[in-house]
Each structure stands twice: as structure tokens, then as C-alpha cells.
Structure 1
Amino acid sequence: MNEAVTTTQFAADLLRAHDYQTPMAALSVANPAATVDDAYVVQVSVLADRIRRNDPVIGAKVSVHDRRPVFSLYPRSSLMGAFEIADRSQLINPVVQPVIVLRLFKELSGTEVTAAQVQAATESVVAAIEVVDHRLAHPEGLNHVDAVADNGGIAKILVGEHGIDISHRADELGSLSCRFIVDDVECGPPVQLITQPLDAVAALANHLGSQGGVLEADWFVAVGPLTEPAPLRVGSKAELHVNTMAPLRLRAR
């Protein structure tokens, strides 16, 4: 990046945007020359500050923006309790979307992780409802670099308790039937659907491995979205049904 806006400066500003729920100009606006590598430096810098505040990383996410993968990490503060209500006053412009979550019981490390290894490391797959709230703003919409820098817009996630076992067969992941209803309106299919979740998680593990990181044995990994997102307003109610997984319900106040 050029000297006008360094990754360190931008990460500090982004952390303040998190703290005070205020939007700020996107990385691609502050520095049009910023690269994806710069964006991941910003992402990691913000998460490192959260860790220093006793808010460790407990999970990861694979999503898609502009047809390119976005690898993100969940701090502990993002995980919602079973009966927790999403507080709209602590968010900027949130949307909700359904994802699936792989609960890991084995570590995935290195840069040559395969889909078969992801399957073997997965204890179960459950449904989840994610609240996405981008702190960055761009007059023409966020691009891939911005989505990475903003940690995929991670804000909150409600993870289901009961799911499916894929230890012996993973074909059910390729034929998920999802109904996501927000404020009595059913959401349609996403513009960009991840059709091979195990391959996506393997790519995430290899990305982390190239940076010296790992997918920890007790982490969860979200993949999605499964439908188009919907705005989350005060009083909103979201309900998710995915195959035989336990249904989920999220409310906002």
C-alpha cells in the first residue's frame, strides 16, 4: 500500500468503527492500489487487537464475493447464545443469511488439505443463521478487497445444536434443501452458491496454512450463504429449515 494509508492505520480505524458502530470508507476508496494481500493484513490486524482484548478466534468462514473466495474468522464475541436476541442498536446496516456449519474435532493444518481430510475431521454439520454487518462503505458497492478487509462482514452467528453426520457419506451436502424465512418472506437462492462445501473448507485450511495458521480442532467453520440475505430490522424474525437439521429461529430487537 502507499504511504497515505497504511494497513496499520486502516486497521486501527476499522477497529474503532467496530467499537462505535460507525461506517467508514472502504479500503478500495482509501487506497485504490490496495491488494487482496493488503486486505488480509488488515483483517488479521483487527483480529489480533480483538485477541489482545480477550476475544479469541473460535471459528472461520468461507463465502464468495465477486466470484472470488473470502476467508474470514469469527471472534468469540460473535457467537450467539441459544436464546440471545440480536441487538440492532449495536449494528450498522445488518442483513441475515443462512449458512451451514462444520463442527471440527480434528485439526486441519498445512497447505495440502483435501476435501476427504475435511470430511474426516468433521464431527457434524449443523444449520446456522449469520448476521452480516459491513463496517466499510463504498458508493458503488464493496469489492472483493473490501470484503476481505472487513472480515466478510462477520457480526453475529447463531449455530444450531443438532445436525447430520457426514463421517461415512457427504453426498447430502450437495443436495441441501433450504427454506429461510425472514419477516414472513421466503428468501430466494443466492447469486453465488458454494456447491462443494468440503472443497471450500479445504481451500480455507490451505489459505490459513500458507499464513502459518491452522483450523483448530474445536473450531466451527461456516460455509455460505445458502440463500440471498435479508435486511435485519428491529423486531425482525428469521426462521431456517435445512434438510433434517434442527430448525433455527433468530429475533432482533
Structure 2
Amino acid sequence: MTTPDHAAIAARLHDARQTTSPIGPLIADDPSLTVDDAYAIQQGLVAAILEAEGGRQVGYKLGLTSKPMQQMLGVDVPDYAPVLSSMVFDDGHTVDLDAYIQPKVEAEIALVLDQPLRGPGVTSMQAFRALGGAVAAIEMVDSRIADWKIGLVDTIADLASSGATILGSRVVPMDTLDPRLVGMVISRNGQTAATGAGAAALGNPVAAVAWLANTLAAYDVTLEAGWFIMTGSLHAAFEVEPGDLVRADFDHLGSVTTHFTRSSGSDHPRTSEEE
């Protein structure tokens, strides 16, 4: 059996990302690809992005943390990918959609590590003690696979379908809230698009962090102090268009907002919270 060329596949994904030209499903070209192959490809893609754009790793993102998403892809565990500094923006950032292929947005709770965390055997209580606080966040997911026709191998290899992360400005201490019970409303141009709560992320966002620490231990990886963990979407992702204003309001955590535009032409916002 031929060994998959991880570097070549990572280069294809990186080229698709740079040119905003999607490629077909990876498994269609090589049905033998496994989850282990996908994570090896992901590492190559991370290296290529860091070489091209500079920056550094600042955390991790989790995907497939909700039961409906797991059922859709026929899996029973989440996936993960590094978060890179070149992909992280402050509250109020304007996203240029010309830099992406087929973006969608999700509201999430980001948890910030105050201490290093390393598995195996990390419990939710130990993860809670390592965390310094929680932040309101919006993740813009994007896929380099055409028409979002993805399977588990595709999304893992493709940096867990990462696009951009917008973080709120407040870090709320963990001892002041129960992340499971943090409710959220996300709106698009002033109209409610979805609602959710922290419990959508593996039942508890803190448990999601413990899962990640234990999973990464097999690869000799420690979650570092100062990193943040995107703990998974609290609702079904939805598409955005030029001119859109998306705002997520969380109990206790406050709000986070991002605008969408196109550098290649003008856009005309619809009714928004700013009007």
C-alpha cells in the first residue's frame, strides 16, 4: 500500500487557502487516508501557514463538540487544531471576505489558561483550576474543500475548518460563573440568528479542555499558560455576506462583534445594531 504524501496534501490545502480556490474532498483522491494521516497533514499545513504569514501558536480550537455535529459526520469524538496568531482579531474587527472561500460564523466560549495543563488523566476539576477566565468569542469557519463536502479526514487536515477568531475584550474569572449555564444569543444585522448555552460544548466547556489535554498527551503536547481554547460552537453555523454585522451576547461574558466586507467592491449593510 502506498504511504500518503502528507506534505503534498498539506501544500494543496495551503495553496487553496492562499488562492481562495477550493479543492475536492481529500478522501476522494485517497480513500486510504486515516485520522492519523489527517493530523499529520494538519501539522504540515500549520507549518506552511507560519512560514508564509509569521506569527505563533496562541491556543487550540475544538470542533465537533456537539452531538448533532458528531452525528452528521458519523463520529463520537471531537477534533482539534492549533489556533495561530495571524488568524485572531479583536472585538469589532472587520473581516474581508475576499480572503476566504465559503465562510460561516459560530459563537463560542473561549477559555484562557492561567497555568500549563498536561494529560493524561486530567479531570474537569483540574482543568478548571488551570483556567484563568472565559471570553466571549466568534469563530468564522471556512473550508478549503469545495461546497463544504467534508468528512472527518477533510476537516481535521484542513485545520479543523478554521478561518478567523474574534475575541471579546473581557476575561471573566472562572470562579464567578458556571460555563455550562452561560447563555448566548447571536444576531445578524439586528435579527436573532441562533441561541445556545455552554453545555452544548461536550456538556461542559471545561470538560472539553480536559479532553483536549488528555488527547494531546499522546503526542507529548502540553497546553501552555496564556493560550486560549475555543471550546466549540454553541449553535449551528450560518453563512455571512458583505455588509453583515454579527454580534454575540453572552450571559456574564458580555458581547463580541464583527463586521464583514469585501475589499474588491462596495457593500451595503442591512439594518444593524448601530443604526
Could you tell me how far apart the structure 2 residues matched to 1:241 and 1:20 are? 34
Q: For 1:186, which of 189, 192, 197 is the aligned residue?
A: 192
- Indicate how the Cα distance of structure 1 residues 83 and 189 shifts in structure 2: closer, same or farther if over 3 A, else same: closer
Who is 1:79 aligned against? Answer: 88
Q: For 1:149, which of 134, 147, 157 is the aligned residue?
A: 157
Could you tell me how far apart the structure 2 residues matched to 1:82 and 1:173 are? 20
Percent sequence identity is 25
1:188 is paired with a residue whose SS is strand
1:245: Cα distance to partner? 1.2
Q: Deviations over 1:139-190 (max 9, x none)?
A: 8x311121111111111111112243224x66x2121211001234323357
1:117: Cα distance to partner? 1.6
Who is 2:32 aligned against? Answer: 33
Alpha carbon RMSD of aligned pairs, Å?
2.0
2:95 is paired with a residue whose SS is coil
Q: Deviations over 1:21-58 (max 9, x none)?
A: 11111221221121111110011111122333423111
Conserved in 2, the CA contact under 8 Å of 1:187 and 1:229? no
Could you tell me how far apart the structure 1 residues matched to 2:193 and 2:93 are? 23
Could you tell me how far apart the structure 2 residues matched to 1:28 and 1:36 are? 11
- Indicate how the Cα distance of structure 1 residues 249 and 138 shifts in structure 2: closer, same or farther if over 3 A, else same: closer
Could you tell me how far apart the structure 2 residues matched to 1:41 and 1:33 are? 14
The answer on 1:233 being equivalent to 2:232 is: no
The answer on 1:134 being equivalent to 2:143 is: yes
Q: Structure 1: which amino acid aligns with 2:200?
A: L
1:138: Cα distance to partner? 6.3
Could you tell me how far apart the structure 2 residues matched to 1:155 and 1:100 are? 17
Q: Deviations over 1:190-233 (max 9, x none)?
A: 7x932221111111112222112111111010112012111121
2:233 is paired with a residue whose SS is coil
Q: Structure 2: which amino acid aligns with 1:92?
A: I
Q: Structure 1: which amino acid aligns with 2:142?
A: D
Conserved in 2, the CA contact under 8 Å of 1:68 and 1:144? no
Q: Structure 2: which amino acid aligns with 1:63?
A: G
**What is the count of residue pairs matched by the alignment?**
248
**Residue segments in structure 2 that go unaligned for 5+ positions in a row:** 65-69, 262-275
- Normalized against structure 1, the TM-score is what? 0.91
Q: For 2:121, which of 112, 116, 134 is the aligned residue?
A: 112
Could you tell me how far apart the structure 2 residues matched to 1:108 and 1:244 are? 25
Residues 38-117 of structure 1 aligned to structure 2 (within 5 Å): 38-53=37-52, 54-64=54-64, 65=70, 66=73, 67-117=76-126
Conserved in 2, the CA contact under 8 Å of 1:56 and 1:76? yes
Moved over 3 A (4+): none
2:89 is paired with a residue whose SS is coil
